[in-house]
Amino acid sequence: MTWKIVADSGCDYRQIAELAQETTFESVPLTLQVGNEIFVDDEKLNIDLLMEKMYAASAASKSACPSPDDYLRSFEGADHIFAVTITGTLSGSHNSAQVAKKTLSGRAS
C-alpha cells in the first residue's frame, strides 16, 4: 500500500528530511506573474531573482493556482493520497484539488 502527500507550493516542505517508507511527496507549483514574467514555484525557482523583479515592478504581482489537471497528474501512482493546499478562502488551489479528486474517484467507479 503506497501513500503520497501532495501539496501546493505554498507548503514549504523543503526541510523534510525523511518520509515513511512507501510514502512519497509531490509539490504542485503555483505560478507567479511579475510584470510580463512568469515564475513557476518549483525547485528551480530563483527566489533572489523573483524578489528582485518584485521590488522593481511598478504593478502588483499576481499568482495563479495549479489546475485540476496538475493535481490529477500528481495524484497518480499511489493507493492513498493526502493533499495539503492553501485555504480555499485565499486561493483556488483547494478547489482545483477537489475537482481532481472527483475526477479520479469517477475513474475508479
> Taking the domains of the chain in order of start, what are their residue ranges?
1-28+67-109, 31-64
Confidence (pLDDT) at 106: 80
Confidence (pLDDT) at 109: 47
Cell digits for 90?
485565499
Confidence (pLDDT) at 23: 78
> What integer is the mean pLDDT of 16-21?
63
Residues 37-87 pLDDT 10s:
999 999 899 999 999 999 999 999 999 999 999 999 999 988 899 999 988
Q: Rounded to two decimals, what is the model's pTM?
A: 0.82
The total number of residues shown for the chain amounts to: 109
Q: What is the DSSP string of 46-101?
A: -HHHHHHHHHH-SS--EEEPPPHHHHHHHHTT-SEEEEE-S-TTT-SHHHHHHHHH
For 1-28+67-109, the fitting CATH number among 3.90.45.10, 1.20.120.1200, 3.30.1330.10, 3.40.50.10440 is: 3.40.50.10440
What is the largest distance, in Å, between two alpha-carbon atoms of the chain?
A: 51
